[in-house]
Amino acid sequence: EVQLVQSGAEVKKPGESLRISCKGSGYSFTSYWISWVRQMPGKGLEWMGRIDPSDSYTNYSPSFQGHVTISADKSISTAYLQWSSLKASDTAMYYCASTEGGTNWFDPWGQGTLVTVSS
Amino acid sequence: QSALTQPRSVSGSPGQSVTISCTGTSSDVGGYNYVSWYQQHPGKAPKLMIYDVSKRPSGVPDRFSGSKSGNTASLTISGLQAEDEADYYCCSYAGSLPVFGGGTKLTVL
């Protein structure tokens, strides 16, 4: 069974750095792109960017380019979403989701990681 | 890249059919047969319900169907059931990057 398991909830202060993770299992990790999707409280889904774990090639939404960094370590089947300096407006649920090579949909999804940024 | 346009809410009684629209442009919905739909229950991760406009993943009831005409895609749920009450999101590719709709809350009366 293809499964994505994300790291646990985080509470951070503005200006702090953070890296959250998404571990894949049950499939060849390098055969699926991993995307990150933001959902702010009470709001909709926003695609942030994605990575091809086979070569770490990344694409970002213009809205998130320069604000976050997506990376992956294929040796441990894990993708990451990273901030260097958090803002209160980064408070949201973050999901990772996989896309099999050559397809154009997201399945499966991770369970989500809640990030709370508050002073 | 603008979000695709969905109605904020729709509702229907058990057994009825409802349709949720997803309107984009010729650069996204109208330009590609890459529309997918996701169901999200409160506090849960989204779940794929339809891909490539009208295809259903295994395990998704055939009460769920998808279609597209021009720049508007649609998700139709027939024989509404209480468990269908959820938020629904469409997604399309715009060039090489995906864009989501704003989401629609389905209420089963």
Whether residues A106 and B46 touch (CB distance < 8 A) is answered with: yes
Q: Is A111 on the interface with B (CB under 8 A)?
A: yes
Query: Would you list the DSSP string of A83-104?
Result: ESS--GGG-EEEEEEEEETT--
What does the pLDDT profile of chain A (119 residues) look like in tens digits? 889 999 999 999 999 999 999 999 999 999 999 999 999 999 999 999 999 999 999 999 999 999 999 999 999 999 999 999 999 999 999 999 999 887 889 999 999 999 999 99
B20-42 pLDDT, tens digit per residue, is 999 999 999 999 999 999 999 99
CB A56 within 8 A of CB A69: no
**B83: closest CA of chain A, how far (Å):** 20
CA dihedral A111, B98, B40, B77 (to 10 degrees): -150
d(CA B17, CA B82): 13
Give the burial class of B27: count Cβ atoms within 10 A of its Cβ; 0-12 exposed, 13-18 middle, 19 or more buried: middle
B77 three-class SS: strand
Amino acid at A110: G
